[in-house]
Amino acid sequence: MKESGIGTDPIGQNLIKSIGNVCFSAFVFSVLIFTVIAITYQPPDPWLQSAPALTRLFTETRNATFHSDNSVLNTGEDLPLPTEMFSSAASPLASEMPVTETSIEIVERRIGNSTGKDGVGCDEMADGQVNCSDPRVLVAVEKFNLHSFKAIVFFEYQAPIAGSRPDECDVAWRFRNKKEKSWRKYRDFRRFRFSVNDDCVYEVLHSDGWHSGINARRPRSRPSSPKGSGPKFIPFVRDEEINDTIPSLGSMSNFRKGRYLYYSRGGDYCKGMNHYMWSFLCGLGEAMYLNRTFVMDLSMCLAATYNPSNRDEEGKDFRYYFDFEHLKEVVSLVEEGEFHRDWKRWDKTHKRKVPVRKVVTHRVTPMQLKKDKSTIIWRQFDAPEPENYWYRVCEGQAAKYIQRPWHALWKSKRLMNIVSEISGKMDWDFDAVHVVRGEKAQNKQLWPNLDADTSPDALLSKLKGMIIPSRNLYVATNEPFYNYFDKLRSLYKVHLLEDYKESWGNTSEWYNETMALNKGWPVEFDGYMKVIVDTEVLYRAKTRVETFNNLTKDCKDGIGTC
């Protein structure tokens, strides 16, 4: 028995050791795999899909272009921004003090210490006359606005000005919607009617609508018409916060000292806006990686899908759609025309030409160009599609080094002024439904239920349980027939983008400001502009109903993509 025990013990020990070795090897192997993944993983760009997914979408679809849903379009201010962007050094937010209940109480105490019951304005109001210069009038307006417009942050009230009646004052202020992630501010001015109680406290009895306080608006300017046969400007109120002038390089010595990244026009031209942004931000990202100034062509081509003519339209100005002022504050830029003029001037006046490195293929990576000392790195995109797309530069290994600066690309402040006007005319108190129809509703193979699920009867039935009757209902849609949503009017106060045509009509600020950019010629309010405004008004609604989340069981990108 003893010999048998001695013979079996080593076998058991060896078995235990073998199992332990296998488990330890598996553990080491798993740690090795995890370490490799951790080292090689590169976070995707802050966009709706990861970089590889977008690349697949580009390369797998017809002509390798971006065929995503264009009914909602996002730019940098729609994305969550890094905390450091809102530091005191980077953001004007740090120096702005919004009007709050606390700040109003401080002003009231200050007023109370300087005036009593018989202070300025009480006796006059007893005769039906408001002294608009009385500081208590402005306090009453600030309290009224805070109570009435919960979705708004108020800044910088101007001194009240007499209205058209003895008991009225016009007041102007600047504001920002709480849902807006940028630090831009907008302007409103309204007319208020007042009463005063026995304690000499003013109360607002009534407030008129958006931009009703015409005596408090800025004076109208009369810009001179440019030379030539272009039409004359209509006098207008200019948004003084917009500064999208083209920056100059200055002296010739500044040009020679600079380092530039120049992208020739490629196959991205006249593609959809999502494609344009994906490629454009690749170029900006490479310029930032190489620590170079990006040479930018402000002339764009708007794809046929956004135009009633169903034709591509060239000669569109980047500043019609995007915030050039913000872009040039964030990224080092030079406009292509300015760049060419200085380049030619240097070569004409100097025997030694400007050093240029021509890159004829996207396969030359940004990492290979990092140490290049040439004044100009000129990427040329002359290959056939899809080899001539700008975004190809940021594929492969380059994706680990190039970060697209989404935070630099915001929508045009001029278009956002229209968004604020439409929202303000609904007193910032509205709900919205996003109804995607168009080509998707006609394609029964990919979206078999969309047409029926977004029919007027189906919409009315579904919205009853989501939005309270009698509310302001904004319908953001690509449905071309204006009267398509008439059935909704039985329950809601329906608003469509076409109801606000005066916001871009020939007497509007937008009309005159874009005409100034276009050398005195009117600019069409095109399909892409409409999508931008529709999207942003939709975002500001108190309750938002989406097509593919709420109205239909079809997938956003068709069958089998949910």
Q: Where are the beta strands (DSSP E) in 286-355?
A: 293-296, 299-302, 313-317, 333-335
Place of tokens 């030694």: 352
Q: Is 218 left (phi over 0), alpha (psi -120 to 50) or beta?
A: beta
CB 368 within 8 A of CB 361: no
Among the CATH numbers 2.20.28, 3.40.50, 2.60.120, 3.20.20, which is that of 413-551?
3.40.50
The conformation of residue 81, written as its DSSP 8-state character, comes to: P
Determine the 3-state secondary structure of 160 from DSSP.
coil
φ, ψ of residue 521 to 5 degrees: the values are: -100, 140
Which residue in 437, 431, 461 sits closest to 449, CA to CA? Answer: 437
Report helix, strand or coil for 373.
coil
Pairing label, strands 293-296, 299-302: unpaired
Separation CA 514–CA 469 (nearest Å): 39
Task: Compute the distance between CA of residue 217 and CA of residue 48 in angstroms, rounded to an integer.
Answer: 40
Q: What is the pTM of this model?
A: 0.82
Query: What pLDDT is recorded for position 4?
Result: 45
Q: Which two tokens stand for residue 73?
A: 């379009």
pLDDT of residue 496: 98
CA 15 to chain centre: 66
**One digit per residue, pLDDT tens: the chain, 562 residues?**
444 444 445 666 676 777 777 777 777 777 677 665 555 544 444 443 444 544 554 444 333 444 455 666 688 887 765 444 444 334 454 457 899 999 999 998 888 766 544 444 455 555 678 899 999 999 999 999 999 999 999 999 999 999 999 999 999 999 999 988 888 999 999 999 999 887 778 999 999 999 999 999 876 554 444 444 455 444 455 677 788 888 887 777 778 889 999 999 999 999 999 999 999 999 999 999 999 999 999 999 999 988 888 899 999 999 999 999 999 999 999 999 999 999 999 888 888 889 999 999 999 999 999 999 999 999 999 999 999 999 999 999 999 999 999 999 999 999 999 999 999 999 999 999 999 998 899 999 999 999 999 999 999 999 999 999 999 999 999 999 999 999 999 999 999 999 999 999 999 999 999 999 999 999 999 999 999 999 999 999 999 999 998 999 999 988 888 8
The pair of structure tokens assigned to 497 is 């983008």
Per-residue confidence (pLDDT) for residue 45, from 0 to 100: 42
For the chain, the structural domain boundaries read: 51-89+248-408, 96-216, 413-551
* Token couple for 553: 């069981």
Contact 381, 390 (CB under 8 A): yes
Instruction: Say if CB 534 and CB 477 are below 8 A apart.
Output: yes
**What string of DSSP letters covers 16-60?**
HHHHHHHHHHHHHHHHHHHHHHHHH--PPPSSSS-HHHHHHHHHH
* Long-range own/partner contacts, residues 81-88 (CB < 8 A, 24 or more apart): 81/181, 81/407, 82/407, 85/407, 86/183
Euclidean distance between CA atoms 363 and 170, whole angstroms: 62
List C-alpha distances in Å: 459 to 106, 276, 379, 440, 471.
Answer: 49, 34, 51, 17, 15
C-alpha span between 379 and 282 (Å, rounded): 13
Distance spanning both ends of the chain, measured CA to CA: 69
Structure tokens, 119:
């202070």
